[in-house]
Each structure stands twice: as structure tokens, then as C-alpha cells.
A and B are shown apart, each in its own frame.
Chain A
């Protein structure tokens, strides 16, 4: 049973020693803040990637020659349509335009709703074009001269849309220098999921040069990108760990010295070992909970409202300044983080508190 007098008294002692707890409080808040920021950013990026992935059909077909991607033709579409189990095959035009002035590639994506004179660009691209005084339109250099398009709309930059320019299909062919019946890739619709692998094999059977990627392959590609970023995660985790050890050291030393005598005094007036541990548990739970929620709250504001300056560039490189993070909060991972931070935090104080409490109290008699 929890005794209110005891809890009140524990909080009273906590407030009395607030200066000593402040250091732990700030370091712990910082760790939680850093870890939650990483979590929020990676969850948000994953979310956007997978949303984009969901819009795709189950099988993506690309053609290669000598290891390079080459366009596909109507003939490919027709023969893949023949395979039983395939519902539909769409030819897609998609590719990269090299913008030499800024030495950057723009990702050209088709949007059928646009006319021949306009395009939609991301806010990142908008800022790049603006550097070269293209504020209302842009001139693409193509095989047969210059193709000029008006900026119709600017969309938010996220991990997918950051380098995207949306144009009409004919314009896309022109910019990417593709013929009327050429496609960059084919999007194959297979209604029955269990047939996907089998149909993939059949397609490769038909054309040995063709590369087939299923949705699952793409998913693991994306995961792979995250492992590549793992090095950065490691550094951030090491920073967190170092802070954590500073924290633990501070926690432990807070029980020795002056506090050791205080514990002996409480023991002498009747606090049992379990009472001392419970006292420290209450105090440090209050500290841990407050800093945990403060850390998560600050991380949310930092990532989703301020767009995670500094950290964003670590994750996404220097072109990321316009990327916006979709607010995604995964309660499950927050909970796991809670377990992995709060429990060592509490243990770091309870073990030494216990050690002091079991010592004899002869100190008080001196």
C-alpha cells in the first residue's frame, strides 16, 4: 500500500535537494531528446518512403543492356500482359535531368494532369532555380532546343519529393530524350499476391536482360539505406551512451558523501532498508518521468516544428534543407526507449542506495 505521508515526504526531500537533481535532470532530458529526435526523424522518413511504395504496383520491370538501364518498348508490355495472372501493365516515363549550372540531377516524374507548358516542383528545387533567377519558369535543354515550362505549383519537400519535377508525359519524354513508344520502367499489376514471385520469374524467363523488382525487394532496399546511415546512428548512440555514463556516475555519487549520512539518520529514526529504497525510487521516478516527457516533447517540437536543423543534414545530406518531416509518433518505440532509459536510470540510484542502507548506522552516533 502506498502511504501518502511517505510520498509527500519523499517529494519534500527531492525539492530540498533539487540542485543536486538538476544535473541528472538535464542530462537525462538531453539523452531522451536526442534519442527521440533520431527516432522521430527515422520513423518519419520510413513512413514517407513506404507511403510512396504503397502507391506502386507489385512488380517493377526495368530493362538493362551491358549493365545499364535502357528503355522498354510496347512489345515488352504486350508480352508481359500475356502472362496469366497479370491484370495490367503500365509503361512509366521517369528519369533524371542533369542541371549543369548547379551540378545536380532533377528527378523527372510524370503527372498526367499537367499541360505542356507547366510543371510542379518541390520547394528544394524552387530554391535551387531561384539561385539562377528562374522564379516563374525554367528552360530545359533538350535534343531539339529549349523547352520552357512555367512553375505552376510548389510542393513540400519530403524524402521522396525533394528532387522531383512533375511534368506532362510528352514533356518528360522530350526532357529525357525518349521516343514515343519508349518507357523507363513498367508497373505490373498482379491482383493475387501469392503469384508475384512466380510471375517475376516468368518475366525474367521471357527477357534475360530484364531486371525485376517486387515491392518487397524495394522495401528491403529502403531498409538497406537505413543501415547505411547506421554509422551516423552509431555516433549519436555513442554520444547518448557517454552522457548516460556521466549521468550514472552523478547518480551514484549523489548517494555517497553527505547523502550517506542522511540515509543513516533516516535509518536511525526507523526507516527500514526497503523504505530507503522506496524513498529513492519515488524521488528518481519523479525526475526520470519529468525529464522523459520533457525530452520527448522537446524532440517533437525540434523535429516536426523546426524541421530538426543540424540533425537533418546528418541524416539526409546537405541538400536536405527544404525537407519537411511528416509528424509520425510510434508509441511502441517510445515505450521501448522508456524501458531502456528509465530503468537503468532508476537502477543506477537504487543499487547504491541499497548498498548504503544495509551498512550499519554507527556513523550517526559519532
Chain B
């Protein structure tokens, strides 16, 4: 499975029809092909996270369509949009969003518990993801004891564990030092080899002028420029 994304006339309005109404996204049109790496650039507050959360079905647009493999995820009921997030999307968040109090292994397991697969397959998938994200050696550690870079690799393993075709990363290097940021750029390359479609929202210049990136999109005040 590979993902292509077609975004048409997309609007996101916060506090719609209230005094503090705010147009976070204005008439976004975007075409992302299968296996493409797309970097969305823009200053803080320009609307990058909002766009990612719409593509990932974390929230609903005010109007417009988001077609992922011809399916309009803007109009899915909760059960199906949850299934979409679970099976087709892998998220990598700025603040990692790991579940404190659980081990690396159990965090990576979380997306799999919704499907009724047997224990062997479960273990195989988790170990593979830990391997790819280069965090297998810490699998029994509590996530609260990890360094920033390790937390992110745990989050990457969790994003990959269900073999999604689409990876969404929001400010992936914001909480990392230079060295770990470069490691993430390498991981992006790995995603490219694995033929994943990847959308990264960032204002970090480390992503500028990368040869393997297919598209750079600049966003300002909620509009593509």
C-alpha cells in the first residue's frame, strides 16, 4: 500500500462564527504523490500543525476535501477515521507523545492492540519496528528514563509498527540537539527507501536543500505561497 494525497480548497477556521474567529488555513490546494517526501515550511503560527492534523484526521476541516487514496478522510465517521490513523498513518510529534510509565516495548505495542493478531506476529512487528528505529537495545526501559533522541526513536518505532504508508512529522527536530537532528534526516532517507509518503512540518533550516526531498511547500498566514 502506498499513499497519495490530494487536498482541495481546504479551510480550517477556529472559533467559527464567534468574535475570535480565526482562519488558520485558507484555500489550501496540494497534490502529494505516492512515496514523495514533502517538507512544509513556515514560521511559528503559520498553520503547519493545523494542516498536518487535518491530513492525519486528528481534526476535521471547516470545508474542503482531503483525499487519501481517493478516500475523503474529511468526511469519515469516528470509527473509520480512527482506523485510518491506526493503519495508514504514522505520527511523529514534536513532544513525542509517549505514554509515561510504560516501557519502550509497550509504547510501540499500543497501536497493535486494536487488531487481534497473535502473540508471535505481535512480537515480530514490534521487534522489527524497534530495529528500524534503532532503539531495540532500550526496549525494556521506561520511556521516562530516555534521552530526547531516544524518545524520538521510540516514537518513530511506534509510528512504523503498523507499517503505515503515510508518515506525518510535526517539528520532529524541535526537541533534539544537532546530532540527533541529523540522525532524523538520515531516518527520512530511510523512509524514502521504504517508499513511504512523508509530510514534515518544520521551521528548522536543517531540512533545507535536501536532495531526496521531492517538494518544499511554503506556508504563511494559513496560505501556501
Interface residues of A (CB under 8 A from B): 1, 3-6, 8-9, 12-13, 16-17, 262, 265-275, 358, 360-362, 364-366
A-facing residues in B89-118 (Cβ within 8 Å):
91, 93-95, 97-99, 101-102, 106, 109-117
Chain B residues lying within 8 Å of A265, measured Cβ to Cβ, are: 97-99
**How far is A361 from B78 in the complex, measured between Cα atoms in Å?**
12
Q: When the two chains form their complex, are residues A9 and B58 in contact, meaning their CB atoms are under 8 A apart?
A: no
Q: Which residue of A lies closest to B88 (CB)?
A: A270
A270 near B82: Cβ-Cβ < 8 Å: yes
Question: With A12-B102, A268-B91, A275-B82 as given contacts, are A364 and B97 in contact (CB-CB < 8 Å)?
Answer: yes
B79 touches A272 (CB 8 A): yes
* B65 interface residue (CB < 8 Å to A): no
B59 adjacent to A361 (CB under 8 Å): yes
Taking CB atoms, residues of chain A closer than 8 Å to B115 are 3, 5
Taking CB as reference atom, which chain A residue is nearest B84? A270
A317 to chain B, nearest CB (A): 52
**Pairwise interchain contact A269-B111, C-beta atoms closer than 8 A:** yes
Bound form: Cα–Cα A303–B56 in Å: 58
Residues of B within 8 A of A (CB): 49, 52-53, 56, 58-60, 78-79, 82-87, 91, 93-95, 97-99, 101-102, 106, 109-117, 122, 158, 162, 170
Q: Of A262, A272, A275, which is within 8 A of B99 by CB? A: A262
Whether B117 pairs with A5 at a CB distance below 8 angstroms is yes
Whether A16 and B49, one on each chain, are in contact in the complex, defined by CB atoms closer than 8 angstroms, is no
Residues of chain A with a CB closer than 8 A to B94's CB? 365-366
CB–CB A269/B110 < 8 A = yes
The 6 A-B residue pairs whose C-beta atoms are closest, nearest first, are A270-B86, A272-B82, A9-B113, A16-B101, A5-B113, A270-B85
Query: Given A364-B58, A366-B49, 7 other A-B contacts at CB below 8 A?
Result: A3-B116, A265-B97, A266-B99, A269-B111, A272-B83, A275-B82, A362-B59
Grouping DSSP codes into helix (H, G, I), strand (E, B) and loop, the A interface class, with mixed when no group exceeds half, is helix
**Cβ contact within 8 Å between A5 and B83:** no
**Can you name 28 A-B residue pairings with CB atoms under 8 Å?**
A1-B116, A3-B113, A5-B112, A5-B116, A5-B117, A6-B114, A8-B113, A9-B113, A13-B102, A16-B102, A17-B101, A262-B99, A265-B98, A266-B99, A266-B110, A268-B56, A268-B91, A269-B110, A271-B86, A272-B83, A273-B82, A361-B58, A362-B53, A362-B58, A364-B97, A365-B52, A365-B170, A366-B49
Given the complex of chains A and B, what is the CA–CA distance between A25 and B97 in angstroms?
Answer: 29
Shortest distance in angstroms between B40's beta carbon and chain A's nearest beta carbon? 13
Q: Which residues of A sit under 8 angstroms from B79, Cβ to Cβ?
A: 272, 274
Contact A364–B99 (Cβ < 8 Å): no
Minimum CB–CB distance for A278 against chain B, Å: 10
Question: In whole angstroms, how far apart are the Cα atoms of A271 and B82 in the complex?
Answer: 6
Q: What residues on B are CB-neighbors of A16 within 8 Å?
A: 101-102
- Contact in complex: A273, B78 (CB < 8 Å): yes
Write out the residue numbers on chain B whose beta carbons fall within 8 Å of the beta carbon of A269: 85-86, 91, 110-111, 158
- Please tell me if the beta carbons of A4 and B82 are within 8 angstroms of each other in the complex: no
Q: Decide if A268 touches B106 in the complex (CB within 8 Å).
A: no
Q: Are A271 and B114 in contact (CB-based, < 8 A)?
A: yes
Q: Which of B60, B91, B95 is in CB contact (< 8 Å) with A366?
A: B95
Give the complex CA separation of A49 and B93 in angstroms.
69
* Nearest A residue to B95, CB-CB: A366
| Nearest CB of chain A from residue B94's CB, rounded to whole Å | 8
State how many angstroms separate the Cβ of B163 from the closest Cβ of chain A: 13
Q: Is the CB–CB distance between A270 and B58 below 8 Å? A: no
Residue in B85, B102, B116 whose CB lies within 8 Å of A268: B85
B78 and A268 contacting across the interface, CB-CB below 8 Å: no
A12 with B106: CB separation less than 8 A:
yes
Q: In whole angstroms, what is the CA distance A16 to B107 when docked?
A: 12
Which residue of B is nearest A2, CB measured?
A: B116
* Contact present for B111 and A364 (CB under 8 Å): no
Nearest CB on B from A13, distance (A): 8
Please, which residues of chain B bring their CB within 8 A of the CB of A272? Answer: 78-79, 82-83
A16–B99 Cα distance when bound, in Å, is 10
CA gap between A4 and B113 in the complex, in Å: 8
Please indicate the chain A residues that have their CB under 8 angstroms from the CB of B60 in the complex: 360
Q: What is the CB-to-nearest-CB distance from A84 to chain B, in angstroms, rounded to a whole number?
A: 77
Chain B contacts of A262 at CB under 8 A?
99
Beyond A270-B83, A273-B78, A365-B52, whether A4 also contacts B116 by CB under 8 A is yes
